[in-house]
Amino acid sequence: MKRVVLDSSAVMAFFENRPGAEKVEELIQFAIQRKRELSMSVVNWGEIYYSVWRAKGPGLAMKVLSDIAQLPVELVDVGYDLAKSAAEFHAGYKLPYVDCFAAALAVQRKAVLATADRDFTQVQKKLDILWTV
């Protein structure tokens, strides 16, 4: 089964029906059919919560969290190894720190990283990236 790590930009594209939403929806359908295994770091989940809260208020932010909970996406806690790997990504590349958690999780799980965030172009030789846009 192919593993896919979702970056917050991919999930936001899905919920806001932005370009790339159809690719994320396809991944979700594959996960429902047990053809894909989807996961996301809780740090990236928190970034979604923060972004929606700041842009649209706490009520909608809570709704988005509730909607994410209905998806076939495993939320992965950050332990020592994942935090260390994210810190190494941050030290070695000019990648925003929160994005480093998605990258580190993709490496840890030997997974494809689904993202719309072009910041990841600088690490595309290290990761298998599925561009959602």
pLDDT value at residue 94: 84
Range of the domain at 90: 2-131
Note the pLDDT tens digit of each residue in 42-55. Answer: 999 999 999 999 99
CATH number, domain containing residue 22: 3.40.50.1010
Per DSSP, the residues of 6-68 read EPHHHHHHHHTT-TTHHHHHHHHHHHHTTSEEEEEEHHHHHHHHHHHHHHH-HHHHHHHHHHH
Question: Does residue 76 have a pLDDT over 70?
Answer: yes
Question: Does residue 1 have a pLDDT over 80?
Answer: no
Domain count of the fold of the chain: 1
What pTM, to 2 d.p., does this model score?
0.94
